[in-house]
């Protein structure tokens, strides 16, 4: 039996704008049709000539289709044919809207979500109760508004907007370390069980707790459902948040968490260690054994679950996340990055040594490590291990991972960095983006031109500085940008 179209309407229609590239009309599926169930949320990009005026236009349209599905292949052909007609309609300037509502596109988004919620076993009653009257919170960071290009960076993430010496603040880490040492004693039993049963070091999960919520003192106040729905509707990472929203609704439907308890950060993270709803299903554990998983009120459950997350991402017990080093005469910061990883023993043969002058623990010499200089030569430099990558997987930022790793060392009794951070002045995102673009153009390819300072950007800066007879600093400074402009011309 062939698929039958029941209804359709335009969900989200960004204003068309002129383009000078003269390219032919492109209708591209953002997502291929699922094999069963109803179909919704096709995105397509179009480029073409506005029929009434002849202007070149480009736009992104989201279209909701409700299709009675019997044959997935038939559906695909059918949908493609219908979309072709709809592109023609849209280009001809037809205003296609759903029923008149205050915010039809958000309503349409929720309507399109319902079949997926049902497919996951979320009751209709729960779905309707929790989404009734829901409005997007357009004050959140990281949103993409109609007709706006996604921004080069997220204004919400301190990891990418604060200079290293301010992010990895010695004062802040010192305070957290002191509290962490007291909490290590208070929760000694649970932490011992976490180390024994899960195999993740106690000081590391304490450090995550400290970093994420200052040991529970930070209590985010956003309604999680509203945050997740807004990010899924109009955020930069819609697909990710759509899945998280469904998981959150499932948590409510199953009676695991009450809506009133579901307070989240602007990015939907909840509880003592800021977990995402899907992580409740993938890695939450009942560490205190009371028969219920409570990531808001039970320290044992929250830390056990954080440990499980690290374990599932590949944590190796008793392997340091990183070692502060001096690079020596033969290695410089332009050797940074996971592509240049080698055993710690090889780094030692190349002249790399511990910054504090102590010998490197013989048990770790065979471990693979890469050089990582989060502030270029203007701060401490590290050999980082696979455990550093695990911390980065928790939150994708070198500075975040250095913060958590260093805090864990401090809680365990370690000292401050040997090399102090210089007072680094950070270029704004546009400046960093210009450095990246100029590097890319000069043949130092950058995978993601995003205005953010990562390992690749620092490495390529170092290589550029080396090749152009500049001082090798691996940092996008104003002086570097001026030199690049001078060398390449405007
Ligand atoms: Ca429990």
Q: Read off the CATH number of the domain in which 444 is found.
A: 1.10.101
Distance CA 474, CA 463 (A): 8
Q: Domain for residue 52, yes or no? A: yes
Q: Domain for residue 294, yes or no? A: no
433 and 365 assigned to the same domain: no
Q: Cα(192) to centroid of ligand 1, in Å?
A: 16
Q: Cα(298) to centroid of ligand 1, in Å?
A: 6
356 and 436 assigned to the same domain: no
Whole domain around residue 332: which residue ranges?
322-384
Domain end call among 76, 98, 120: 98
Q: Cα(253) to centroid of ligand 1, in Å?
A: 19
Q: Cα(275) to centroid of ligand 1, in Å?
A: 15
Q: Cα(303) to centroid of ligand 1, in Å?
A: 11
CB 399 within 8 A of CB 165: no
Q: Cα(273) to centroid of ligand 1, in Å?
A: 15
Beta strands 322-326 and 222-223: pairing type? unpaired
Q: Cα(296) to centroid of ligand 1, in Å?
A: 10
Question: Taking the C-alpha atoms of 339, 345, 350 and 356 in order, what is their torsion angle to the nearest 10 degrees?
Answer: 100
Q: Domain for residue 391, yes or no? A: no
CB 242 within 8 A of CB 225: no
Distance CA 185, CA 406 (A): 19
378 and 455 assigned to the same domain: no
Q: Cα(315) to centroid of ligand 1, in Å?
A: 23
Q: Domain for residue 303, yes or no? A: no
Q: Cα(288) to centroid of ligand 1, in Å?
A: 5
Q: Cα(289) to centroid of ligand 1, in Å?
A: 5
Overall number of domains in the chain: 3
Q: Cα(297) to centroid of ligand 1, in Å?
A: 9
Spatial neighbors of 443 by CB under 8 A, at least 6 apart, are none
Q: Domain for residue 461, yes or no? A: yes
Q: Is 35 exposed, middle or buried (0-12, 13-18, 19+ CB in 10 A)?
A: exposed
Largest CA distance in the chain: 76
Q: Cα(138) to centroid of ligand 1, in Å?
A: 35
Q: Cα(284) to centroid of ligand 1, in Å?
A: 10
pTM over 0.85: no
Q: Cα(294) to centroid of ligand 1, in Å?
A: 5
Terminal alpha carbon distance of the chain: 62
Q: Cα(272) to centroid of ligand 1, in Å?
A: 13
Q: Cα(175) to centroid of ligand 1, in Å?
A: 29
Q: DSSP state, 159? A: G
18 and 86 assigned to the same domain: yes
Q: Cα(208) to centroid of ligand 1, in Å?
A: 19
Q: Cα(190) to centroid of ligand 1, in Å?
A: 11
Q: Cα(79) to centroid of ligand 1, in Å?
A: 48
Distance CA 209, CA 204 (A): 9
Q: Cα(304) to centroid of ligand 1, in Å?
A: 10
pLDDT tens by residue, the chain, 490 residues? 233 333 333 333 332 333 333 322 222 222 333 332 323 333 333 334 333 333 443 443 434 333 333 333 444 554 554 444 444 444 433 333 333 334 568 999 999 999 999 999 999 999 999 999 999 999 998 888 655 544 444 444 666 678 899 999 999 999 999 999 999 999 999 999 999 999 999 999 999 999 999 999 999 999 999 999 999 999 989 999 999 999 999 999 999 999 999 999 999 999 999 999 999 999 999 999 999 999 999 999 999 999 999 999 999 999 999 999 999 999 999 999 999 999 999 999 999 999 999 999 999 999 999 999 999 999 999 999 999 999 999 888 999 999 999 999 999 999 999 999 999 988 999 999 999 999 999 999 999 999 999 999 999 999 999 999 999 999 999 999 999 999 987 6
93 and 9 assigned to the same domain: yes
Bridge partners (DSSP) of residue 342 are: 369
CB 36 within 8 A of CB 69: yes
Domain end call among 64, 98, 132: 98
Q: What is the DSSP string of 298-347?
A: -HHHHHHHHHHHHHHTT--TT--SEEEEE-TTT--GGGBSGGG-EEHHHH
Q: Domain for residue 297, yes or no? A: no
Q: Cα(255) to centroid of ligand 1, in Å?
A: 15
Distance CA 322, CA 37 (A): 48
Q: Cα(227) to centroid of ligand 1, in Å?
A: 26
Q: Cα(301) to centroid of ligand 1, in Å?
A: 5
Q: Domain for residue 149, yes or no? A: no
11 and 84 assigned to the same domain: yes
Q: Domain for residue 265, yes or no? A: no
Q: What is the DSSP string of 234-253?
A: HBTTHHHHHHHHHHHHHHHH
């Amino acid at each position: 039996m062939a698929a039958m179209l029941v209804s359709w309407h335009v969900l989200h229609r960004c204003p068309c704008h002129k383009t000078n590239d003269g390219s032919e009309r492109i209708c591209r599926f953002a997502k291929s049709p699922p094999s069963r169930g109803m179909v919704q949320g096709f995105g397509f990009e179009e480029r073409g000539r506005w029929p009434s005026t002849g202007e070149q236009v480009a736009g992104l349209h989201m279209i909701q289709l409700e299709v009675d599905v019997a044959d997935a292949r038939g559906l695909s052909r059918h949908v493609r044919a219908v979309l072709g007609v709809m592109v023609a309609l849209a280009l001809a300037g037809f205003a296609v809207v759903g029923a008149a509502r205050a915010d039809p596109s958000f309503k349409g988004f929720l309507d399109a979500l319902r079949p997926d919620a049902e497919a996951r076993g979320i009751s209709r009653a729960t779905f309707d109760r929790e989404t009734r009257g829901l409005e997007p919170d357009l004050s959140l960071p990281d949103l993409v508004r109609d007709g706006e290009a996604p921004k080069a960076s997220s204004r919400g993430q301190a990891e990418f907007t604060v200079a290293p010496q301010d992010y990895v603040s010695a004062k802040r880490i010192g305070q957290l370390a002191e509290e962490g040492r007291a909490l290590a004693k208070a929760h000694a039993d649970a932490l011992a069980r976490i180390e024994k049963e899960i195999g993740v070091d106690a000081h590391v999960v304490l450090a995550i707790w400290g970093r994420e919520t200052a040991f529970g003192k930070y209590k985010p106040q956003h309604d999680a459902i509203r945050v997740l729905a807004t990010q899924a509707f109009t955020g930069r990472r819609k697909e990710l948040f759509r899945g998280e929203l469904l998981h959150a609704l499932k948590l409510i439907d199953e009676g695991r968490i009450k809506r009133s308890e579901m307070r989240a950060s602007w990015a939907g993270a909840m509880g003592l260690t800021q977990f995402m709803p899907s992580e409740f299903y993938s890695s939450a554990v009942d560490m205190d054994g009371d028969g219920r998983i409570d990531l808001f009120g039970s320290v044992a459950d929250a830390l056990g679950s954080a440990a499980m997350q690290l374990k599932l991402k590949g944590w190796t017990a008793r392997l340091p996340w990183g070692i502060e080093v001096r690079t020596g005469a033969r290695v410089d910061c332009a050797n940074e990055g996971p592509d240049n990883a080698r055993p710690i023993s090889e780094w030692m043969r190349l002249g790399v040594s511990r910054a504090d002058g102590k010998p490197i623990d013989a048990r770790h010499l065979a471990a693979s490590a890469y050089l990582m200089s989060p502030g270029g030569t203007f701060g401490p430099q590290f050999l980082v291990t696979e455990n550093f990558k695990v911390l980065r997987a928790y939150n994708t930022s070198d500075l975040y991972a250095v913060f958590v790793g260093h805090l864990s060392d401090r809680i365990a009794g370690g000292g401050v960095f040997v090399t102090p951070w210089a007072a680094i002045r950070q270029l704004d995102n546009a400046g960093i983006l210009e450095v990246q673009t100029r590097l890319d153009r000069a043949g130092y390819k950058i995978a993601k031109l995003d205005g953010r300072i990562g390992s690749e950007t620092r490495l390529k800066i170092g290589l550029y500085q080396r090749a152009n007879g500049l001082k090798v600093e691996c940092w996008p400074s104003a002086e570097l940008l001026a030199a690049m402009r001078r060398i390449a011309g405007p």
